Amino acid sequence: MSGSLFVISGPSGAGKGTLVQRLVERVPHTWVSISATTRAPRTGEVDGVHYRFMTPEEFERTIEEGGFAEWANVHSHYYGTPTGPIIEHLEAGDNVLLEIDVQGGFQVREKFPDAKLLFIAPPSMEVLEQRLRGRGTDSDEEIAKRLRNAKGELEASKDYDVVVVNDDLEEATDKLAEVLES
């Protein structure tokens, strides 16, 4: 396999989705894995584009069939990375990005020891909350759950290979692009 595998983790609202989009536009041959999830689609999310939306039964069947490179329960929903497409893109020589939580990140490190684990941190918890509210996609209850979960994620960042604080978007993009291209 000639491509490189990168895990991108960080608390919800830190800016992972925004940064990943910018990396795809900036760095040639960069491909983002489409995760499976049992959470409901948000307004504007399309099955097969943003996520593969599955029922819990479908997700559990895929686990039993060994179809996930990693999976985890995040914010009370299942999320997982389908194995087939990431192998295909690594074989094609692409940079493969997995935007997944830290539990998933550590599973990937076990299976793919060459994977680089990148962590996106918010400048502060206050800014994280502002970004989650400003995004306007989650209920107050969902936001509270995500902020509680953020503390555990930030704790795990010490075992990641690279930590990038997403304060200035341009600077954070530059740092990540440098890692992908190195």
The verdict on 122 binding ligand 5GP (CB under 6 A) reads no
Closest separation in Å from C-beta 174 to ligand ADP: 12
Widest pairwise Cα distance in the chain: 44
Task: Using CB under 6 A, count the residues that bind ligand ADP.
Answer: 13
The site partner of 35 among ligand ADP, ligand 5GP, none (C-beta below 5 to 8 Å per kind) is ligand 5GP
Nearer to ligand 5GP, 27 or 45 (CB): 45
Q: Which of 32, 101, 121, 131 binds ligand 5GP (CB under 6 A)?
A: 101
131 phi and psi angles, rounded to 5 deg = -70, -40
| Residue (of 32, 26, 28, 30) closest to 173 by Cα position | 26
- Scanning 37-45, 86-94, 103-111, 128-136 for contacts with ligand ADP by CB under 6 A, the matching segment is 128-136
The verdict on 105 binding ligand ADP (CB under 6 A) reads no
The Cα–Cα gap between 63 and 78 comes to: 11
Structure tokens at 157: 């960042």
| Pairing verdict, β 36-37 and 52-53 | parallel
Q: Are 149 and 40 in contact (CB under 8 A)?
A: no
Nearer to ligand 5GP, 4 or 16 (CB): 16
Q: Which of 96, 104, 119, 180 binds ligand 5GP (CB under 6 A)?
A: 104
The Cα–Cα gap between 83 and 66 comes to: 9
Binding interface with ligand ADP (CB under 6 A): 10, 12-18, 131, 134-135, 166, 169
